[in-house]
Amino acid sequence: GESVGLHLPTLSVQEGDNSIINCAYSNSASDYFIWYKQESGKGPQFIIDIRSNMDKRQGQRVTVLLNKTVKHLSLQIAATQPGDSAVYFCAERNAGNMLTFGGGTRLMVKP
């Protein structure tokens, strides 16, 4: 079936550096993608989203890039901080407002 997956299970970065988390998706019919942050023992927290008719969207310190040609999604975090340490999931929304989550990437920020 359709799935959303990630390339890297763990990403370790130095505080202050930029982080890039990647995601590959397979459902070409999806038109809406979301990035979530999940801290240990908590529910997912919305970070940023993007529609398929866009290739880039910026938020505060975060940028999401969408490449529909290769079905690739990335989350860029600028000036990564210790508070950014968490597991990050991409999710794909389909008809019926259902979400399919990727496998997750753990971001570890070294002080």
Partner 1 sequence: GAVVSQHPSWVICKSGTSVKIECRSLDFQATTMFWYRQFPKQSLMLMATSNEGSKATYEQGVEKDKFLINHASLTLSTLTVTSAHPEDSSFYICSASPGTGRGGEQYFGPGTRLTVT
CA 52 – CA 68 distance, rounded (Å) = 7
User: Shortest distance, CB of residue 15 to partner 1, whole angstroms?
Assistant: 24
Site size toward partner 1, by CB under 8 A? 21
Judging by DSSP bridges, how do beta strands 72-77 and 62-67 pair with one another? antiparallel
Out of 29, 43, 70, 83, point to the residue binding partner 1 (CB under 8 A). 43
Q: Beta 45-51 vs 32-38: how paired, if at all? A: antiparallel
Q: Could you say which residues in the range 72-91 bind partner 1, by CB under 8 A?
A: 89
| C-alpha span between 71 and 23 (Å, rounded) | 9
| Single residue of 29, 42, 83, 111 touching partner 1 by CB under 8 A | 42
The two three-digit tokens of residue 43, written as one number: 């529910």
CA distances to 22, 44, 110 from 65, in Å: 9, 20, 25
- By the rule CB under 8 A, 25 interacts with partner 1: no
Among 21, 64, 88, 102, binds partner 1 (CB under 8 A): 102
Query: Is residue 101 a contact residue for partner 1 (CB under 8 A)?
Result: yes
Q: How far is the CB of 26 from partner 1 (least distance, A)?
A: 15
